[in-house]
Chain A
Amino acid sequence: DSGVTQTPKHLITATGQRVTLRCSPRSGDLSVYWYQQSLDQGLQFLIQYYNGEERAKGNILERFSAQQFPDLHSELNLSSLELGDSALYFCASSQGVSEGDTQYFGPGTRLTVL
């Protein structure tokens, strides 16, 4: 157990809908990262937050947004869902933004868009 929690574990929804994925980082970690992993694909970095502020952006679609709250938990919002958004979404956390902070992954949320 990495100490990173994600809810829900599974999410099934329809095209056009909006969902929110939630992540709580390890105690003491200030950075949160979101990744998307499609079937048989690698890990695609979406976005990073550090202590409430957006720090880095990857291949995140305009339909997706995220935020990190004062208690450091983070939410990833996915809207106007398409079939291709079906994937495993992982959250990871690390202590901060120093050189090569180790990232610890949560168990993931499996999103299925029908």
Chain B
Amino acid sequence: GENVEQHPSTLSVQEGDSAVIKCTYSDSASNYFPWYKQELGKRPQLIIDIRSNVGEKKDQRIAVTLNKTAKHFSLHITETQPEDSAVYFCAAYRGGGNKLTFGTGTQLKVEL
């Protein structure tokens, strides 16, 4: 089955700096890659997603890039703010039943 690796497991940045979280996946048939943000004790919330026919997608301070050949995708957050502090999960979807495989999460801490 699909395997998703996520790095780093923790990331600490200064407010205003950029943060990058990277994920790799194993199944070349995967074609949909969402990113979720989870604040402590709360539900995971979709923040951005990308499909395999697109290389990059932006939404204000958040962007995701996808390299299908290398089977990796990344989340980029620019001008980080304290409210960006949370755990971020990447995921990969492989067709044949809508089963998402999640990465292990990155704890992002934005320091003042």
Contacts and interface: CB of A to CB of B under 8 A. Distances in A.
Interface of A: 2, 31, 33, 41-43, 45, 48, 50, 55-56, 58, 90, 94, 96-108
A96 B100 CA distance: 14
Q: Is the interface of A mostly helix, strand, loop or mixed?
A: loop
Interface string B80-112: 000000000100010101111111110000000
Nearest to B105: A42
17 contacts: A42-B102, A42-B103, A43-B44, A50-B98, A56-B98, A58-B99, A97-B97, A98-B98, A99-B95, A100-B31, A100-B93, A102-B49, A103-B46, A104-B46, A105-B43, A106-B43, A108-B42
8 cross-chain pairs, A with B, having the tightest CB-CB distances, nearest first: A100-B32, A56-B97, A105-B43, A43-B102, A56-B99, A42-B104, A105-B44, A101-B98
Contacts of B31: 99-100
B97 to A, nearest CB: 4
Given A100-B49, A100-B51, A45 B99 contact: yes
Contact of B34 (A48, A90, A102, A107): A102
B108 to A, nearest CB: 15
B67 interface: no
B100 A103 contact: yes
Q: Is the interface of B mostly helix, strand, loop or mixed?
A: strand
A90 B49 contact: no
Contacts of A105: 36, 43-45
Contacts of A31: 98
Nearest to B1: A58
Most buried by A among B31, B32, B49, B97: B97
A56 B101 CA distance: 12
